[in-house]
A and B are shown apart, each in its own frame.
Chain A
Amino acid sequence: MSRRIHLLALLALLMCSLLLSACQQPAPRKLHGITDKMPPPSATHLPQPAPDLPLTDQYGRPFSLSMQKGKVVIVYFGYTSCPDVCPVTLAQLTQVWTGLGPEQARFFQPIFVTVDPERDTEEVIARYLGAFDSAVGGDQGLGFIGLRGMPAELDPVMAAYDAKAEKKPQPGSAVGYTVDHTAYTYVIDTAGTLLEWYPYGAAVDDILWDVRYLIEKGTKK
Chain B
Amino acid sequence: MKVKALLVVGLLAMSVAGCVAPPEASSPPGPGAAKVQAAEVWARAAAAGNSAAYMILRNGGEAADRLLKAESDVAEAVELHKSTMEGGMMKMAPVEIIEVPAKGQAKLEPGGLHVMLIGLKRELKAGEKIKLKLQFEKAGMQEVEADVRKP
User: Is B92's CB under 8 angstroms from A84's CB?
Assistant: yes
- Minimum CB–CB distance from B69 to chain A (whole Å) comes to 12
User: Is A84's CB under 8 angstroms from B111's CB?
Assistant: yes
User: Is A88's CB under 8 angstroms from B91's CB?
Assistant: no
A90 to B46, CA, bound (A): 13
A124 to B91, CA, bound (A): 22
Residues on A with beta carbons closer than 8 Å to the beta carbon of B46:
83, 87, 128, 131
User: Is A127's CB under 8 angstroms from B111's CB?
Assistant: no
User: Is B52's CB under 8 angstroms from A83's CB?
Assistant: yes
Which residue in chain A gives the minimum CB-CB distance to B51? Answer: A83
Which residue in chain A gives the minimum CB-CB distance to B149? Answer: A91
Residues on B with beta carbons closer than 8 Å to the beta carbon of A94:
151
Which of the four size classes fits the interface of chain A? Answer: 35 or more
Report if A135 contacts B (CB, 8 A). Answer: yes
A80 to B93, CA, bound (A): 15
Given A88-B110, A91-B151, A201-B111: A83 in contact with B88 (beta carbons within 8 A): no
- Minimum CB–CB distance from A161 to chain B (whole Å) comes to 13
Residues on B with beta carbons closer than 8 Å to the beta carbon of A180:
89-92
- Identify which of residues 58-109 in chain A touch chain B, using a CB-to-CB cut-off of 8 Å: 80-85, 87-88, 90-91, 94
Given A135-B150, A182-B88: A175 in contact with B47 (beta carbons within 8 A): no
Given A83-B117, A168-B93: A127 in contact with B110 (beta carbons within 8 A): no
- Minimum CB–CB distance from B124 to chain A (whole Å) comes to 10
User: Is B90's CB under 8 angstroms from A83's CB?
Assistant: no
Report if B77 contacts A (CB, 8 A). Answer: yes
User: Is B89's CB under 8 angstroms from A181's CB?
Assistant: yes
A168 to B49, CA, bound (A): 18
Which residue in chain A gives the minimum CB-CB distance to B92? Answer: A178
A residues contacting B by CB (< 8 A) are 39-40, 80-85, 87-88, 90-91, 94, 124, 127-128, 130-132, 135, 164, 166, 168, 170, 172-175, 178, 180-184, 199-201
Minimum-distance CB pairs A-B, first 4 = A174-B77, A83-B50, A83-B52, A183-B90
